[in-house]
Structure 1
Amino acid sequence: MKNIESLKKEEKNSQLKLKEFKDNYKTLEKELEHLKLKHNNNKNQIERYKNLINIKTRIKNSYEGFYKSIQDFMTYVNKGKFRNIVEGVVVELIKVDKKYVEAINTALGGSAQNIIIEKEKHVGEIINFLKSEKIGRMTFLPMDTIKGRELNSYQKRASQIDGYIGTGDKLVKCNEKYENIFQFLLGRTIICQDIDSGLKIAKSINYSTNVVTLDGEIIYSGGAITGGSKKKTNNLIGREEEIVKLTNKKKELINETNELEERLKSYIEKIKGVNKKLDNQKNFIREKIKEREKFEINYTNLIEDIKIKSEEKAETEDKIQKSISKINSLENEITTGLNESKIINKNILDYENKVKDNDVNLEEVKKEELDLKNKINSLNIELSTKENELKIDNSRLEEIKENITEIEENLDNALKEKSQNEKLIEDSKEKINSFTKSIKDKSEILRDKKTNFTNLRNERKKIQNSIYEKQSQINSINKEINNLQKDVNSLEVKIERYENKLSNTKDKLWNDYEMNFAIAKKFIDEDFSINSLNKETRSLKGEIKKLGDINVSAIEEYEETSKRYEFLAGQRDDLIEARDKLHNIIKDLTDKMHGIFISEYEKINEHFKNVFIDLFGGGDAEILLSDIENPLTCDIEIYAQPPGKNLNKISLLSGGEKALTAISLLFSILKVKPTPFCILDEIEAALDDANVYRFANYLRKFSRNTQFLIITHRKGTMEFVDTIYGTTMEEEGITKIISMNLSEIVEKEYLDE
């Protein structure tokens, strides 16, 4: 059995192991908390990116930031109207490097919202649609008519000046089919580093083309310059790229969170393993303690047994002493008896020697008899083994005979099958011969059919060629007919046009001059010149333009505007009257507010001094108005003098002093205007431990009239509260609220004492 010391050592070792397991468990828990925080942050980030992507896609799809007309028109396009005609808005079809975005945006200007279409012939249809739907005006860039532009040889000299980057079309990426469009829009716009290099470039080319800086300043052809600070606007370029970047970031975060989830699972498994080890170690310690306790009980029992045994030993020792004396007396009697027995033994030995001589012969005979018996037994054993072997050989011989009969039977069957197979082979040979004959006959037939087929194919080709010739002739005739038909149609159209012109001139002659063609013939002027007449009409039209547009409904419009003027004048008078009343109300309110503010300010200031002294343990503090005559609009300055320091503004105090001064002001406001319930969110985070205890003690006093709900991580504050609430997540995704009523615990402890 183990002694108590060894058991105590084992218990100590197991306690140390238990401590190690607990430390491992704590480190794993910390790492798990860290991973959970990271996991939650990643989830929040993913949600943020999702929202951003949704917002960006909604902005992109709704064309937010574009002209209203573009927004309305593109919604029709996205629904399917003109989808095959319209390629898209200019800014949608380009990709620009981030550093050139501002420059390209400025260079494009309003043309960034131009719409690229496939062909010029569709413009009329689209414009009619815009008019019918009253969408508005916009600029279209047909791909089949727009031609690219580039710098001339004189303007290309600008590339030699420092700060020159390139023309705008070279800094954008687009599909090859749109290259002409972007050469047209940006091919003659120079992009440069800054305004200084821009001015040098513009001077070198004599202000012959637009120059744009990376910051968005623009020097126009002719010398006008635009620049300065710009309001941050929603940039139209690169919206698609921004969405792609955000989606990529979101994917990266999702992958990271998946990895974190895997790590969390592994950590949870590790914690479970450590928990199991902890439980096992605890059970082991319990068993060891039980074993030690049992051992101690056994040890005490043994000590008692030893006491009893020692008493018994003393009794037995007395008994032994008595028996020793008896033994000594008996030994004396034995020595006398031994002497007598020696004499008797001598006599017996003499007698036995005589008997031995007679028994020698008898023993030899017995030995011979035993040898013979052994030999007989060995012979019998050999005979039985030989008989067994003979039986085994006989059985094997019978088995061989049976096998031979079976082989003979199989051989007969095989011979019979051989004869049958030979017959079948002969029959099949005959069949093969007949088949070969039939194949030969059929191959001859096939050869004949092939020759017929080739002949027929050749005939078909000849017929097809003749058909193609005829078809081409028919096509050429049809073309001629179509051309003639077109000519006839065009002539008919011309005839109709001239007939219409003639009828129109006849109508005009009659309506304007009340004469027919026959009468008008008499007034034909052979010296008439169409050019002089055109000049005269132009001069007359110019004079009409100078007169301006004739407004037929001017009188009706005047009556309407005069009525509207009277109505608006009445409303203006009402508004002036209402304004004056409001001014009077505001004045009364400001007077009342002034009085209330001053009285409340004085109360708060008085309480602020007292609370400051209580919290700081001395010192002085004051709230001052910068303009006492205008207290509602003036600045409020807080001056504080902690113990052992000079009076300073709150902005010059340390972080902890600022926080405690702000807390003093808060409590002074609550004293002036108490509230039944107040929430404080980590208000004492910047305070040191000593000030935390002061704050908590003061809060405890203040809680008689006001109930406080405090969010805190500071132990000093927690010590003074009545009830603590905490949240934990024992299982992933399930938040559990834990509460602890400290006031009940304090009462119990007090009662126990």
Structure 2
Amino acid sequence: AATQGRILEETALQVQFKNELSKVRQEAARVEARESRLSAEERKVAAEREEARGQIEAKEQVIAQMEVEVRHIQEQLTGCEDRLENSESRLAEIQEEVSQMEQEETRVSSQLELLKGLLTSHEGYSSGVKALLTGMDQGKVSREGVLGALAELIQIAPPEAAAVDAALGIWSEAVVVETSAAAERCRDFLKESQAGRVLFLILERLPSEDGQAVHLASCPISLEGGQGRPPVDLRERVGITPHLEPLLRFLLADTWLVTDRSEAIERVLRMDGEAGSRFVTADGELFQRESVRLGSKPAEEGLVVGRMSRLQSLEVAHAHVQRRLQETLGNLERVQNDHDAAREETGKLRNRFQDKNQELKILHSGLWSSRDGLKKLEEEISVLELERGEVREELAGVRSQMETAERNLNEKNQTVEQLEGSVQTARTRIGELTARREADSVALAGAEAQQKAFDEMAANRRASLQTLEAALSHTGSQLTARRGELNELCEEQARCAEQIRELEAMAEGTVQSEREAAEAVARAEREKQQAAEAAREQEREWQTLSQETERVRSALHREEMKRAQLSFEKEQIDARLRERYEVTLETYAEPVLPIADEAALAEMTREVEALDQKLKRMGPVNLASIDEEKELTQRYEHLTTQQADLEKAKSDLHGVILKINRTTRTMFRETFEAIQREFRSTFKQLFRGGEARLVLTDEEDVLESGIEIIARPPGKTLQSISLMSGGEKAMTSIALLFAIFRVKPSPFCLLDEIDAPLDEANVDRFTGALKEFLQQSQFIIVTHNKKTISMSDVMYGITMAESGVSRIVSVKFKQQEKQAA
């Protein structure tokens, strides 16, 4: 029955496993279908990803080409801006050069006009000479035979004009005439006009050349100077027409140009006799034997000598300056044309650069969108891969469950088959056992009858045995009592026999005892005497031994005392060694040989004393010094390590600071130069011309330097911004602000009444410039100007309709325009 029940249970489990296997197979089919669907979807997304990657690569190539083009345009723009800046710098330099040359031309023209006026009005001459020369200019006096004033007939370099004027003296204003008749004619004019007196030089009355030569030859002095530099004949420094050279030789005979006053004095003192030469310095000091003329060097404008030379020099200089001015003006025109062309090209390149940048931004935006799409696709693929992984795991689990179910089902099938076989075998065995049970039942009945007879016989025998055992127990008790009595009687008999034997022995030994007692007494006397003698001998030995023992005890006590003292001294020495030298006696346990040499012993004693004194001077030993030394050593090592770390950190920090400063300087200079360029351009745009620049107050240290704004509006000179008017300051500040915005744009900008100091024309320029930035920045402007408000997209106004209550009013102009349209 149990086996049959188990078979039913196993069969039920078999059916259950079959149902589970069917469900697992269905689940596996569902999971496989899902895995197939996910694979197809993943392949589709992968294809889309590859397509997106291809699009991104294409866009990146287009962007790379665009960036190369933008960089090329930027390089061209940078080159044009550099050329523009160079042309601006060159233009400023040429304008400055033109200004300087115009000033030089004005100065030379003024000097030339002044000198011409002096020559025309004959200023500087005496009234008579001036009247005569003026009359000749006006035709009142005939010029026949009259050559003019001597100062106007000679040519002299400006440095020697003062020397020649001093050498000529009054002859410098003399009028040169050829004949006496001409002199008479001039005298009559002066007499009639009552203009004054005139000194005439009449050529026909000059001394002969032979006489002059003799006079020169008779000069007794040596013309060599003290330093080997001979003086210069003044006539060599004066130019004149050939037919007037005799006049020059007459007037400047024996006149020498020397270097300084000391040389002139030295040469005058060396002269002999009355005749002598004249010596003149470049400062106009004249030295001769009979007189000396001293004073400061006269101004060139006050000298009549050399005016014609100065006039010719000024005319040449004026012509040279005018020629240079014309050449510079031509260069200015060419540079201005180049500057205009560079500005036009820069504007075109900047517009092109901005257009390309805008296109590049659009491409970058598309690329970013594509990359975002690619990222989403990759994320989707990742999600699909994760989901497929989960499905694979689930499918593997389902397959594992299916295999387990199949294996359990097979096991249950085998178990049921085994149970059915076992049931068949058990049925066969049951038949065999049933037959054997019937035979055994018959034999059991016979055996039970025989057993019953045997049980009755055993009961009878047990009763007989109990009776016999009781009788046996009583007999044993009696036997034990009798055995005890018998033992007591035997013991009494033995004691009586022993007493009898003792009494017989005592009777037989009484006589013998008496004899032995006498002998024993005699022996005892002898032994007593011997013992007394021996006692006396032992007493003497004992006394001797007592004395020896006492002596040995005394010696031993003395040795023990000495040993105790030595031990105490040893302990003290050991303590001193441990206290002073931090060693023990065990350290020097080896025996020390005695020193035979007294000198060596004395030397060692002195050395020990010296060392002892040194130890005393050192003071008491600090027992904690070793620990302190270890602690200080550890602290020193720790501090040394910290110091090394701090020094390394300091070095690294210093390097970082230097790197930051270098990078900051580079970035500051680049930004400053960029803002400088934009500021110049924006300033010229807002002011319709002019120039402006930013100047560092400290070129050496740009990080600590201040910045000064130098500006020149059209028609004005360069000046600091602090010297400008309020409107000019505002426009310059706006130019700087817009320049910064061009270099570093900002998405928002708040301007608070920036147009308040501007007039209507400047407001138009401001709003026009502001429109350029509306594509990249949003401006919030606080203003009261209607023109500024009119160009805005949205206007917000604050109004107070009721006292203490304000509200916002907004107007969107674009919507209003659309509604109006």
TM-score by length of 2: 0.37
- Computing the radius of gyration from Cα coordinates, the structure with the larger value is 2
TM-score by length of 1: 0.40
Higher relative contact order by CA 8 Å / sep ≥ 6: 1 or 2? 2
